[in-house]
Chains A and B, each alone.
Chain A
Amino acid sequence: MPIFNLQVNGQQQAIDADADMPLLYALRGELGLKGPKFGCGLSQCGACTVILNGNAVRSCILPVSAAVNGEIRTLDGLGTEDSPHPVQAAFIAEEAAQCGYCTNGWMMTAAAALEQDPNRSDAKIRQMLTGLKCRCGTHMAIMRAVRRAADAMALGQPVAGTQVRDYAEVTNEQA
């Protein structure tokens, strides 16, 4: 199989794969990333969203061959523990996830759009997020979180009110 060189979260990665394999399987399978999720494989739900050259794209249908030479960002590399992306800080502050399986799509779509233009009305935010699916019905908290992130980014300020907490202590042990 051919080798594809990808730039993922600032690192060069060589992927040995069929040219038609969707990018998602390289990111989640080969690279072990936990941000993009498999939801539909049909570009209908957004759970697999990554940012490619500044734009939100659905990695479940984008062939890995089409991502070569592009700059790929996933939720895993969107922000760090010390410096989360404003969208991450806002989602944490608003507790804008239930099962969290779709949350990647909302955050990555919002991050790409707000980085391009954070000045958005509530109606524009809804339009920006239309098409993404959430089965748990977390939409109200997501709206609050994206609103909060947009306001902070428009002002160039950190997300206000995010609590400083030692999450290492409160995170549950992983089996």
Chain B
Amino acid sequence: MNKPEFTVNQGRRAFLGKGSALVFACSTSGISILTMNASQAQTLAAEPRAIGPQQLDTWLAFDDNGLVTAFFGKMDMGQGVDTAIAQVVADELDLAVSKVSVVMGDTHRTPNQGGASGSSGVRLGANALRNAAAEARRIFLQRAAQNLDVSVDSLRVDDGVVSVAGNASRQVSYGELIADGFALELDWNGSFGNNLNVTGRAQPKSVSDYRVVGTPVARKDIPGKIMATTEYCAHVSLPGMLHARAVRPPVANQLPVSHDENSIAGITSARAVRIGDFLAVVADTEWAAIKASRELAVTWSQAEAPFPAMDTLFEHIEASPATGDSATGGFGGQPYETAPTLAAIAAAPQQLEATYQVPFQSHARMGPSIGVADVSADSAVIYSDTQKPHDTRSGIARLLGMSDEQVRVVWKPGAGSYGRSDADEAAYEAALLSQYLGQPVRMQWMRHEGHAWDPKAPPCVINCRAGVNNNAIAGWYYHAKGMSGWDVWFNAADPKDTLVGQLTGYEREGRYNFGAPTESYDFPNSVAYWETIAPLQEKASPLRTSHMRAPQEPQIHFAHESFIDEVATATGQDPIALRLRYLNNERERAVLEAVAELSGWQETPAPQGQRSGELLTGRGVALATAFGGFVATVCDVEVEPASGRVWARRFYVAHDCGLIINPQSLRTTIEGNIVQGLSRTLFEEVRFDEQMVRSEDWLSYPILDITDAPERIEIATINRPDLPAGGAGEPSHVTVPAAVANAVFNATGVRLRRLPLSPEYVRQALA
């Protein structure tokens, strides 16, 4: 491995100045921003096109002017994936990046690349388009050589114009060479989804030849979002469209017995629709549908209260039988043996044990679920902001009794979903209602549904133990027990994984996954395993569990990276020094060393809380390896014992995700990871009682307010031009809970082992 290129972005202004000199045509005299005219009166889906992965024409389309459209089978939710794809394509084609448009996530225009998952947008998603673009350039050169009657070796390409080296007047453009396309087959690896790849005869460029990759190209999605021209899924409007709202039960497991149409007779055009146990109202206007959903009189079934009391959740998890474990579930199964570890720990002179708890958390999207469907007898068009449109298409096809080909899902921008959120639900419901009613339907969830009825991040209890002998670790035990990250599958390719599916006869399938840390700590006599328990409610539960950003890794690392700190404290060792003592992965070591330098880390073998007036200050560190990224984070906190307020004042992040495609998007993506992670660490907990989820809005499910945002986030990016691009959408998120909790311990001397570190919890803990 070459020595990494080490960049510290100390400040945005210095950074921008450098970037603008390199990349942007700059003027400070004024501002001219042109946005495309997106103010269409009606949404019209573009013409379907062939999407066979093996056809080069599937991936790239050129017009006569040499503008290229890349067809990308994933989506972007605001981290700049589409811009990164455009950069990759532009470099392979020797084109200005401004000439590359990217179409995303339309099942009838883009190949099935799986959608957004596992921070794979670039690290996996870019491969096919990189290879396709390289092959396209090779064909263009071949055609140009013929056209200009020279050898390929004598040609050069400059922004889509192929010319003879030393004789620039002899030239021909991509637009002139494209003719009727490529009509060329690529080698396809036969995969769909994240692993889909195609290769041609051309060799993609080496990193040293990149001119666009690695530069802070402005994000393509920004102007439309700022100038209000972006058409979000919520804006989709079809002729003759009905507005729908669902009617949910007051107790989680109640089903509708009957409803009284007369109760909404006074609301113009409103009527109730019941399909199976799914109950909804529709009306000509949105406001009428909202009112009808509130006023419809429903008799619900009698049901036993489905949930344990909230304050017994963690006892419930510990006491419940395991439904699956790491030996049998997850991705393939990993046998484990606890006895040798427990024996080694028992034999050690010093023994440590700690148990950590993480509650249910909600995706709580800014905009609750939205979907628009136009279903006719033999075809359907669905507009959705799902993360995985091709999977959603398959599931909706099954729900409607159609083939995959008959159902088209068109991805539209939406509220950030960050996992298997509620995003797919309204699309399913709209499809079912549209088929039933024979009219286009727009289904929009209300706020209480977005909080109470979205799939939740699974709660867990994680037990860690260590045996220590003469300050050296002699045994290491990690055991996570929680609800399954796969209770709701991570895509919506089957109705059984949706609320409306479960209400219309599709039985949920028990599938089990949690997780264990995978960093390279070389602890002797180590075991790490997980177990899952059954969901609290079998069918259509508001507390069903699924993937949420960096699925289960924030929980896993909150426990593991906190416990390493506990061992450091108990043995009088510095937390970074202890980690380095056992890590054998060079990239993990490098980010830890980088964050120590960036943060000016001083050895802290024990709590060193500084009291300043009413505030205690301290700092903590955490490491994570996940999704092709390696991150170490240091957090400086101020704790106010009287109020329990924790302010994570500064973060220092050292980040290695391989080759960096766009340093500016990487920076803002890391910031988003950290701040959203801070919100989950300090504030987020789904509240419920025996009957129902009681987190129904932003008051009962608080998230981070800007007054609690950090003062600064300093980021050191480690570029690895010799390594493929890894993931950046999740790894830094994973470090936040433990970095903050370790900092709170460093400030106060009190170890907090339950999330969130809410003011109430912190105040009580410090009292």
| Contact surface of A with B, Cβ cutoff 8 Å | 1, 17-18, 21-22, 25, 28-29, 32-35, 37-42, 44-45, 47, 74-76, 78-79, 81-84, 88-89, 91-95, 97-104, 107, 126-127, 129-144, 158-175
CB of A32 within 8 A of CB of B412, answer no
Which residues of chain B from 195 to 252 have a CB within 8 Å of any chain A CB? 218-232, 234-235, 237
The residue that A166 contacts in the complex, of B34, B103, B290, B698, with Cβ under 8 A, is B34
| CA gap between A45 and B67 in the complex, in Å | 40
CB of B706 within 8 A of CB of A170, answer no
Asked if B39 is at the interface of the complex by the 8 Å CB criterion, the answer is: yes
> Chain B 667-698, CB within 8 Å of chain A: the 1/0 string?
01001111111110000000000000000011
Q: Considering residues B103, B677, B706, which has the most beta carbons from chain A within 10 angstroms of its beta carbon?
A: B706
| CA gap between A162 and B222 in the complex, in Å | 13
Interface 9-mer from B134-142, B165-173, B360-368, B459-467: B360-368
CB of B104 within 8 A of CB of A139, answer no
| CA gap between A18 and B283 in the complex, in Å | 14
CB of A29 within 8 A of CB of B286, answer yes
| CA gap between A54 and B674 in the complex, in Å | 35
The residue that A175 contacts in the complex, of B41, B219, B224, B412, with Cβ under 8 A, is B412
Given known contacts A34-B235, A134-B366, A138-B672, A172 and B104 CB-to-CB distance under 8 angstroms: yes
The residue that B707 contacts in the complex, of A47, A75, A127, A164, with Cβ under 8 A, is A127
Asked if B444 is at the interface of the complex by the 8 Å CB criterion, the answer is: yes
Asked if B285 is at the interface of the complex by the 8 Å CB criterion, the answer is: yes
Asked if B588 is at the interface of the complex by the 8 Å CB criterion, the answer is: no
CB of A168 within 8 A of CB of B36, answer yes
Taking CB atoms, residues of chain B closer than 8 Å to A91 are 222, 226
Taking CB atoms, residues of chain B closer than 8 Å to A33 are 228
Q: Which residue of B lies closest to A171 (CB)?
A: B36
CB of A99 within 8 A of CB of B416, answer yes
CB of B33 within 8 A of CB of A165, answer yes
| CA gap between A137 and B549 in the complex, in Å | 13
CB of B102 within 8 A of CB of A44, answer no
The residue that B97 contacts in the complex, of A78, A83, A170, with Cβ under 8 A, is A170
Asked if B20 is at the interface of the complex by the 8 Å CB criterion, the answer is: yes
CB of B104 within 8 A of CB of A164, answer no
Given known contacts A81-B35, A164-B26, A126 and B707 CB-to-CB distance under 8 angstroms: yes
Taking CB atoms, residues of chain B closer than 8 Å to A143 are 706, 709
Q: Which residue of A lies closest to B37 (CB)?
A: A168
Can you list 25 A-B contacts with CB-CB less than 8 angstroms, sorted by A residue number? Answer: A22-B287, A37-B367, A39-B447, A40-B698, A41-B447, A42-B698, A47-B367, A75-B228, A92-B33, A95-B219, A98-B672, A101-B366, A101-B415, A126-B709, A135-B676, A135-B703, A136-B676, A137-B671, A137-B677, A137-B704, A161-B16, A163-B26, A164-B27, A169-B67, A175-B46
Taking CB atoms, residues of chain B closer than 8 Å to A144 are 12
CB of B34 within 8 A of CB of A37, answer no
Q: How large is the interface on B (under 10, 10 to 19, 20 to 34, 35 or more residues)?
A: 35 or more
Given known contacts A92-B33, A101-B416, A173 and B69 CB-to-CB distance under 8 angstroms: yes
Taking CB atoms, residues of chain A closer than 8 Å to B163 are none
**Pairs A-B, 10 closest by C-beta atoms:** A98-B78, A137-B675, A100-B225, A137-B676, A99-B416, A35-B228, A139-B709, A101-B415, A99-B78, A40-B447
| CA gap between A92 and B290 in the complex, in Å | 35
The residue that B706 contacts in the complex, of A100, A132, A165, with Cβ under 8 A, is A132
Given known contacts A29-B285, A167-B34, A131 and B676 CB-to-CB distance under 8 angstroms: no
CB of B222 within 8 A of CB of A95, answer yes
CB distance from B687 to the nearest CB of A (A): 16
> Chain B 391-433, CB within 8 Å of chain A: the 1/0 string?
0000000000000000000111111101000000000000000
| CA gap between A170 and B31 in the complex, in Å | 16
CB distance from B254 to the nearest CB of A (A): 24
The residue that B698 contacts in the complex, of A45, A94, A158, with Cβ under 8 A, is A45
Taking CB atoms, residues of chain A closer than 8 Å to B36 are 167-168, 171, 174
Taking CB atoms, residues of chain B closer than 8 Å to A174 are 36, 38, 40, 231
Taking CB atoms, residues of chain A closer than 8 Å to B101 are 170-173
Q: Considering residues A82, A143, A167, which has the most beta carbons from chain B within 10 angstroms of its beta carbon?
A: A167
CB distance from A157 to the nearest CB of B (A): 10
The residue that B102 contacts in the complex, of A41, A94, A162, A172, with Cβ under 8 A, is A172
Taking CB atoms, residues of chain A closer than 8 Å to B390 are none
Known: A45-B698, A98-B668, A142-B706. 4 other contacts (CB 8 A): A32-B237, A138-B672, A161-B20, A170-B101
CB of A163 within 8 A of CB of B706, answer no
Q: Considering residues A78, A81, A82, which has the most beta carbons from chain B within 10 angstroms of its beta carbon?
A: A81
Taking CB atoms, residues of chain A closer than 8 Å to B98 are 165-166, 169-170
Taking CB atoms, residues of chain A closer than 8 Å to B232 are 34, 37, 101
Taking CB atoms, residues of chain A closer than 8 Å to B664 are 95
Taking CB atoms, residues of chain A closer than 8 Å to B26 are 161, 163-164
CB of B287 within 8 A of CB of A25, answer yes
CB distance from B22 to the nearest CB of A (A): 12
CB of A130 within 8 A of CB of B705, answer yes
CB of B671 within 8 A of CB of A141, answer yes
Q: Considering residues B32, B106, B222, which has the most beta carbons from chain A within 10 angstroms of its beta carbon?
A: B222
Taking CB atoms, residues of chain A closer than 8 Å to B219 are 95
CB of A167 within 8 A of CB of B705, answer no
Given known contacts A38-B234, A172-B221, A137 and B31 CB-to-CB distance under 8 angstroms: no
| CA gap between A173 and B710 in the complex, in Å | 36
| CA gap between A18 and B412 in the complex, in Å | 30
| CA gap between A133 and B410 in the complex, in Å | 28
CB of A103 within 8 A of CB of B707, answer no
Given known contacts A139-B706, A168-B34, A171-B220, A97 and B228 CB-to-CB distance under 8 angstroms: no
CB of A140 within 8 A of CB of B78, answer no
| CA gap between A133 and B104 in the complex, in Å | 27
CB of A130 within 8 A of CB of B230, answer no
| CA gap between A29 and B82 in the complex, in Å | 29
| CA gap between A149 and B713 in the complex, in Å | 21
Given known contacts A37-B234, A98-B77, A99-B77, A79 and B698 CB-to-CB distance under 8 angstroms: no
Asked if B446 is at the interface of the complex by the 8 Å CB criterion, the answer is: yes
CB of B218 within 8 A of CB of A163, answer yes
Given known contacts A98-B668, A99-B413, A101-B367, A42 and B32 CB-to-CB distance under 8 angstroms: no
Given known contacts A38-B234, A175-B103, A83 and B414 CB-to-CB distance under 8 angstroms: no
CB of A133 within 8 A of CB of B366, answer yes
| CA gap between A84 and B32 in the complex, in Å | 8
CB distance from B441 to the nearest CB of A (A): 15
Asked if B30 is at the interface of the complex by the 8 Å CB criterion, the answer is: yes
CB of B366 within 8 A of CB of A135, answer yes
Asked if B699 is at the interface of the complex by the 8 Å CB criterion, the answer is: yes
Q: Which residue of A lies closest to B45 (CB)?
A: A175
| CA gap between A161 and B15 in the complex, in Å | 12
CB of B39 within 8 A of CB of A32, answer yes
Given known contacts A42-B447, A171-B36, A84 and B31 CB-to-CB distance under 8 angstroms: yes
